[in-house]
């Protein structure tokens, strides 16, 4: 085997939480790695790198997406929202974030960003979920600490808190 040819890099601009980030990446770079290591937005966490755990979930044009299953170079023409983009402009917690605090919906906090983004989108689509719908909303995300009891409670609490809000 000979030496690998010099890696091709692409200059791309990601729009994350409303701000542009111009970075230079290899074609193979995962969006999760680009967000964390190139944009410095380390709130998005990587738990499995095969799309099962949901910790790396971000919002792509408002819809939940596993950033470990996306390439950075393919993420240029979308609006990306990470956990850092959920709080209000005055740094106040969003209804979903506040609900997690109220309900003890997190312990180690590692899976939390993926739950927060998932539920933020979920409540936008279904603002008044039943308990069963709340469970379904988070059924694609793994948490090893909480046993999910308080996360389900947080979904329902967030629905109350955001009542009437977009």
Partner 1 sequence: MTTRLFGQRVPRVEDQRFLRGRGRYVDDVLVGPGTLHAAVLRSPHAHARILDIDVSEVLDLDGVHAVWTYDDLDGVMADPLPLLIPHPALTHGRTQFALARDEVNHVGEAIAFVVAEDRYVAEDAVDRIRVGYELLPPVVGIEAARAATHLVHDDVPGNVGARMEQHNGDAPAAIAAAPHTLSLDLTIERSSCQPMEGRGVVSRWDPDTSRLTVWTSTQTSTGVRGCVAARLGLDLAQVDVITPDVGGGFGVKINHPWPEELLVPMAARALGRPVKFTEDRREHFISSAHERGQVHHVEVGFDDDGRVLGLDVTFWHDHGAYTPYGLIVPIITATQLLGPYKPGAYRVRFESLFTNTVMVTPYRGAGRPQGCFVMERTIDAIAAELGLDRAAVRATNFIQPDEFPYDHGLVFQDGRELEYDSGDYPASLDKLKALIGWDDFPALKAQAAAEGRRIGIGLACYVEGTGVGPYEGAHVHVETSGKVKVAIGLTTQGQGHATVFAQIVADELGVPLEDVEVVSGDTRKMPYAVGTFASRAAVMSGSAVQLAARAVREKALRIAAEALEADVADLEIVDGLVQVRGTDAALALGTVAVLSNPLRYAFDEASKAATQFAVGDPGRPPVAEDDEPGLEARDFYSPQRATFASGMHAVIVETDPDTAEIRIVRYAVVHDCGRIINPMIVEGQIHGGVAQGVGGALYERMAYDDSGQLLNASFMDFLMPYVTEVPDTIEIDHLETPSPLNRLGIKGAGEAGVIPVSAAIAAAIEDAEGLVITAMPISPSELHALRQSKETP
What DSSP assignment string belongs to 97-156? HHHHHHHT--SS-SSHHHHHHHHHHHHHH-SS--HHHHHHHTTT---SSSTTHHHHHHHH
Binder of partner 1 out of 21, 79, 126, 140 (CB under 8 A): 140
Binding mask 146-165 for partner 1 (x = CB under 8 A): xxxxxxx-------------
Q: Coil, strand or helix: which one is 90?
A: coil
**Residue 151: in which H helix or E strand, if any?**
helix 149-161
**Residue 83 CA to its chain's centroid (Å):** 6
Residue 20 CB-half CA count within 13 A: 6
Q: Which of residues 25-44 bind partner 1 (CB under 8 A)?
A: 26, 28-29, 33, 36-37, 40-44
Q: Apex CA 149: angle with CA 143 and CA 150, to 5°?
A: 90
Binder of partner 1 out of 106, 123, 156, 161 (CB under 8 A): 106
Q: Nearer to partner 1 by C-beta: 79 or 87?
A: 87
Binding mask 74-93 for partner 1 (x = CB under 8 A): --------xxx-xx---x-x
CB 31 within 8 A of CB 67: yes
- Residue 79 Cβ vs partner 1, minimum distance, rounded to whole Å: 17
CA distance 127 to 125: 6
Size of the site for partner 1 (CB under 8 A): 64
Binder of partner 1 out of 101, 124, 160, 163 (CB under 8 A): 101
Q: Which of residues 115-134 bind partner 1 (CB under 8 A)?
A: 116, 131
Q: Which residues bind partner 1 (CB under 8 A)?
A: 1-4, 6-7, 26, 28-29, 33, 36-37, 40-50, 52-53, 55, 82-84, 86-87, 91, 93, 97, 100-102, 104, 106-113, 116, 131, 135, 138-152
């Amino acid at each position: 085997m000979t030496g690998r040819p010099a890696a091709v890099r692409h200059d791309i601009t990601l729009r994350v939480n409303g701000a542009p980030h111009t970075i230079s990446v290899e074609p193979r770079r995962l969006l999760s790695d680009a967000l964390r290591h190139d944009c410095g937005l380390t709130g998005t966490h990587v738990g499995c790198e095969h799309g099962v755990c949901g910790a790396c979930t971000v919002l792509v044009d408002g819809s939940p997406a596993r950033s470990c299953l996306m390439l950075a170079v393919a993420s240029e023409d979308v609006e990306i929202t990470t956990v850092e983009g959920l709080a209000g402009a005055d740094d106040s917690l969003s209804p979903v974030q506040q609900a997690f605090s109220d309900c003890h919906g997190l312990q180690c906090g590692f899976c939390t960003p993926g739950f927060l983004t998932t539920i933020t989108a979920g409540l936008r689509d279904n603002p008044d979920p039943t308990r069963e719908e709340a469970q379904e909303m988070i059924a694609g995300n793994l948490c090893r600490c909480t046993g999910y009891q308080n996360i389900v409670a947080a979904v329902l609490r967030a629905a109350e808190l955001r009542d009437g809000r977009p």
